Structure 1
């Protein structure tokens, strides 16, 4: 596929993104259209015979922007939450207004004094994703103090959490509510459910989880999990027995995550370690909320127990067939890591397989991400330079190594064709792009450096990457960059104060799954020959004369490069063998060899080795020996008759 064909494929639905700006930059929300074109220009050096592709990308503001200030009031947008198809978005809007009022005359001077009264109110406003027009709002008497919002999977319900709820004196204010979004115009949202949420952790939000079709809603409370029929929501009564709900009694449950399976949804549960009893992650089937009511103690479909894990991150595959468990402990028993230790476990939803993911390098697990196809998952792990390995989701076996480097972040594109490795946070921001081939191999497409980046997100078409530097994580050099799938810089926009930047979601199937263009070139350092957005090369860092022409002393080679060539600027050196990508053949052979050696007790020349057998293996062996003996006896009897 050529670049022009790729542009035509996504031209029917342009890329859109939004920004949430600070008051210094004008405040409010800014919506942009990202348009790109691929043009062929002739090279003057060869008389116009050579054709060079040139990428031109522009970021233009959309019409119908949302302003943040009026004559007597100013509005602050705390967050933006889109539905999955991008047709609607919600924002928490805090309006501050000031009014001048005159007091009575002063007795001494006879002059009047004026006073400014400031008032603020909070509303949750819903906007149309296409026109940015206000659709409806939820008044402040219901959402005063709102801090987080979240849409359900189909966009039918909106969850709102309000902070600052006071439950002193035995009264518990219901600060978590669910609103049904009207399907018709001029209709107002309807509150269908509310309850009290005592604690709030951003990583565990939303606390009310919906199934993929929005028919079931699950909530994790003390020692149990409650399941609601989303079509018949009822208010939770704290002091009365809620016999109309389906409730799973699970003592000590701390976290629950609902899978997105379309056929048979399941829920993953974490129970921490307590009084010498190991912690465990369990998988339960979701009950039929229309038939099953009351409290029950279900049987786990799958279960994995472990010690020295205090917190977990449960990551379901997109189709709900498997679960990755990232476990963390604050104390490292080996005293090798100041920040504790981590591990990764794998469980099948049907209970057919549960194991610890075999990682070939010692160190923490930095990131683990599922492919959108649910066929593979990628893990970034180990002490720096960290390794990245692709695993097969059917058997949890390593299939491909992407090499080692200063990386701690993994991002798949929406179609699972491309994968990005990056090093953000305390790492310099080196980014690598790989293309997944049909035979399971991964080909390096290019690399770049997105310095000081905080977030990274693929576009809905899967061919653009958005990296941003936002506040309050970093209060300087705010802005965002848009990269091509091969590491070529397409656009760089700087802002005085930027709080958020992200793509507008699109409906599934809106964009086709496109691979690499025919005339695509490998890019190193974020610039390509002929690109109008090429990064100018910075002067190389000064190297003392006595260090020149030595290993690691050159400013353009080695791990200590400060130039804009996209090299790995990290104190952790990477050998050529570690950085090389390839299939995991040697690792598989070594694991099989170790297992074979561990099974054998001793080897006597001329005798069969003694092998450790499980009860099932021993039973099967005895059955096979009995069958052979019976067959031999029948043959001997037949010979005697003859």
Structure 2
């Protein structure tokens, strides 16, 4: 079982020997192939080939890693194989020059020969990706707001008369035996937005298979199950008009090829962190709400069939067989990992992988890797191989002044591996050489001077939060109750002596007088009492909070660009690296 590692020194292919040994710790991890190209940019696997792109060209290897041919493309950015591996798709970032203002930047090649079959000019990075049906007889691509279709036969792409037009925001082609098209139509002049399903080639408005209307959405993500008979649609707005969330509002909808359409009911408010279909295509999991987040398993009727409870998590990863699911707490969270056995509906293991930016299950379904990669993090790059039981099997720390970019498992035929039998037995692993994260909780500067130690329990799981704080970034909650400093209480109350319920005798006497003798100054006294009981944030602090939230919103936009494959400059990467410090500063200000 092989995996590839792309770094600043080139591309290495590793193998796992003794992968079937009943004692996982006896497995051997070693590299056996190296392509020394420091400018390696992208890679892709099919069941037959391995492709990699450099600053000089695109190279195609067989799975014995023997070079088959070279394609003279110098700006390859993304590589992708068609569903059966017949075609190689190469995407370059669009560049317009005076000599050639409309130069093609999307190419489709015959994977066996390297012959170019068709090319397109794709100026918008957000619309670059073409979809090819599972039987590889149809290509769909969005250009200038319209969806165009091409029939594929013997390597020839022939444009059809079929087209989807209008206010098309995005679309997606289903996998599976029957080809369906999911379409998002943006609402105009106060009319609602729509998501629709069509069965190709019946694309008339009267031939809609299923539809769902919803309020205006700035972004829509479409997620098909493996069989192609169900599609989840995440809608989001950039601004939440209710003021509950600084980052906008999200909703989850479901469309099925049997004409069903539902709004997926989620318990409580908060962001939708992640949505993922089971590889069996009959269920899906949603992680949602403020941290600690809920995780629920839904069926095809959008009923909750199992609740995983709350936990510190924001990511979902199914293994290829659908019998194990992993919840991760990455990004701004600490790196907690939970693995669950879906057949028994019980947790198998917990572990901690701090600073994880990449995770992927092996095709064998019993191990997975985690990695800390560049450009998300330029220090502490590494990758680790884990057993589902939580045992660490292998670790490689990247040398200083070198950067780790990407890992990927080799692709195998669907029935190449058997579904792993899940055991509750404890597996022996190795000890990580990396220092563990501090067990001390973060203490805002404004209360450190009053003797707060900030010590927490030695548990690797974060303490339960008290509840969401509206207006802060998704996933933020207050994990500790604010303690009013003694100096403040004494200065404001004017009396050090307090009775059992915590209120000064002077305050109680004053309130009794106010109740006995109403006056026109009641409202003023009430306002004064509020100021005594609670510290109020200054105008200067409010301005700082607004500025920090704007910076965090900008960082969110940069991270979305990064996830789409766009290359960021050094200043943009530095901004992303400031995210944790900004969140800490924001937390300190809002508790002051």
247-256 vs 301-310, which deviates more? 247-256
Taking the TM superposition and a 5 Å limit, the aligned residue runs for 1:484-503 are 484-496=387-399, 497-503=403-409
Equivalent in 77, 81, 104 of residue 44 of structure 2 = 81
Question: CA–CA distance in 2 between the matches of 1:171 and 1:232?
Answer: 32
What secondary structure is seen at the aligned counterpart in 2 of 1:89?
strand
Partners of 1:56 and 1:532 within 8 A in 2: no
Structure 1 residue 249: Cα displacement: 3.4
Q: Deviations over 1:231-259 (max 9, x none)?
A: 166678xxxxxxx5132233111211110
Structure 1 residue 535: Cα displacement: 7.8
Q: Deviations over 1:574-599 (max 9, x none)?
A: 9xxxxxxxxxxxxxxxxxxxxxxxxx
Partners of 1:368 and 1:379 within 8 A in 2: yes
Higher relative contact order (CA 8 A, sep 6+): 1
Taking the TM superposition and a 5 Å limit, the aligned residue runs for 1:181-580 are 181-182=111-112, 188-201=113-126, 205=128, 207-231=129-153, 245-262=160-177, 264-287=178-201, 299-351=207-259, 353-393=260-300, 395-437=301-343, 441-496=344-399, 497-517=403-423, 520-521=425-426, 530-533=428-431, 541=439, 560-561=456-457, 563=458, 566-568=460-462
* RMSD, aligned CA: 2.9
What secondary structure is seen at the aligned counterpart in 1 of 2:168?
coil
Do structure 1's residue 156 and structure 2's residue 126 form an aligned pair?
no
Which of the two has greater strand per residue?
Answer: 1
What secondary structure is seen at the aligned counterpart in 2 of 1:55?
helix
Relative to 1, partners in 2 of residues 1:464 and 1:39: Cα closer, same or farther, differing over 3 Å? closer
Structure 1 residue 124: Cα displacement: 1.3
Taking the TM superposition and a 5 Å limit, the aligned residue runs for 1:59-138 are 59-62=29-32, 64-68=33-37, 75-83=38-46, 85=47, 87-94=48-55, 122-129=56-63, 131-138=64-71
Structure 1 residue 146: Cα displacement: 2.7
Q: Deviations over 1:370-404 (max 9, x none)?
A: 000001100000011110000012x1101101111
Partners of 1:194 and 1:235 within 8 A in 2: no
Partners of 2:395 and 2:432 within 8 A in 1: no
Do structure 1's residue 35 and structure 2's residue 17 form an aligned pair?
yes
Equivalent in 7, 12, 25 of residue 55 of structure 1 = 25
Q: Deviations over 1:455-487 (max 9, x none)?
A: 111110100011100000001110111111121
Relative to 1, partners in 2 of residues 1:137 and 1:296: Cα closer, same or farther, differing over 3 Å? farther
Q: Deviations over 1:45-85 (max 9, x none)?
A: xxxxxxxx7833432112x32222xxxxxx521011111x2
Partners of 1:284 and 1:301 within 8 A in 2: yes
Structure 1 residue 347: Cα displacement: 0.8
Structure 1 residue 350: Cα displacement: 2.6
Structure 1 residue 161: Cα displacement: 2.1
Structure 1 residue 179: Cα displacement: 1.1
Relative to 1, partners in 2 of residues 1:235 and 1:213: Cα closer, same or farther, differing over 3 Å? closer
Partners of 1:310 and 1:329 within 8 A in 2: yes
Partners of 2:192 and 2:214 within 8 A in 1: yes
Taking the TM superposition and a 5 Å limit, the aligned residue runs for 1:134-149 are 134-139=67-72, 143-149=73-79
Partners of 2:43 and 2:78 within 8 A in 1: no
Partners of 1:248 and 1:297 within 8 A in 2: no
Question: CA–CA distance in 1 between the matches of 2:220 and 2:342?
Answer: 29
Question: CA–CA distance in 2 between the matches of 1:409 and 1:194?
Answer: 36
Question: CA–CA distance in 2 between the matches of 1:473 and 1:538?
Answer: 20
Relative to 1, partners in 2 of residues 1:18 and 1:144: Cα closer, same or farther, differing over 3 Å? closer
Question: CA–CA distance in 2 between the matches of 1:150 and 1:91?
Answer: 10
Structure 1 residue 34: Cα displacement: 2.3
User: What TM-score, normalized to structure 2?
Assistant: 0.71
Relative to 1, partners in 2 of residues 1:181 and 1:285: Cα closer, same or farther, differing over 3 Å? same
Relative to 1, partners in 2 of residues 1:475 and 1:553: Cα closer, same or farther, differing over 3 Å? same
Structure 1 residue 338: Cα displacement: 1.0
- Look up the match of 1:48: none
Question: CA–CA distance in 2 between the matches of 1:77 and 1:170?
Answer: 26
- Look up the match of 1:19: 5
What secondary structure is seen at the aligned counterpart in 1 of 2:153?
helix
What secondary structure is seen at the aligned counterpart in 2 of 1:399?
strand
- Look up the match of 2:567: none
Partners of 1:466 and 1:483 within 8 A in 2: yes
**Higher radius of gyration, 1 or 2:** 1
Moved over 3 A (4+): 35-40, 167-171, 232-236, 295-298, 530-543, 552-555, 569-574
Partners of 1:470 and 1:500 within 8 A in 2: yes
Partners of 1:491 and 1:533 within 8 A in 2: no
Relative to 1, partners in 2 of residues 1:301 and 1:540: Cα closer, same or farther, differing over 3 Å? closer
Q: Deviations over 1:475-503 (max 9, x none)?
A: 11101111111212111111132011122
What secondary structure is seen at the aligned counterpart in 2 of 1:419?
strand
- Look up the match of 1:166: 96
What secondary structure is seen at the aligned counterpart in 1 of 2:197?
strand
Structure 1 residue 405: Cα displacement: 1.2
Structure 1 alignment gaps of length 5 or more: 1-14, 41-52, 69-74, 95-121, 183-187, 237-243, 289-294, 522-527, 544-551, 575-642
479-488 vs 565-574, which deviates more? 565-574
Question: CA–CA distance in 2 between the matches of 1:443 and 1:541?
Answer: 27
Partners of 2:21 and 2:27 within 8 A in 1: no
Partners of 2:297 and 2:307 within 8 A in 1: yes
Partners of 1:216 and 1:229 within 8 A in 2: yes
Question: CA–CA distance in 2 between the matches of 1:54 and 1:179?
Answer: 40
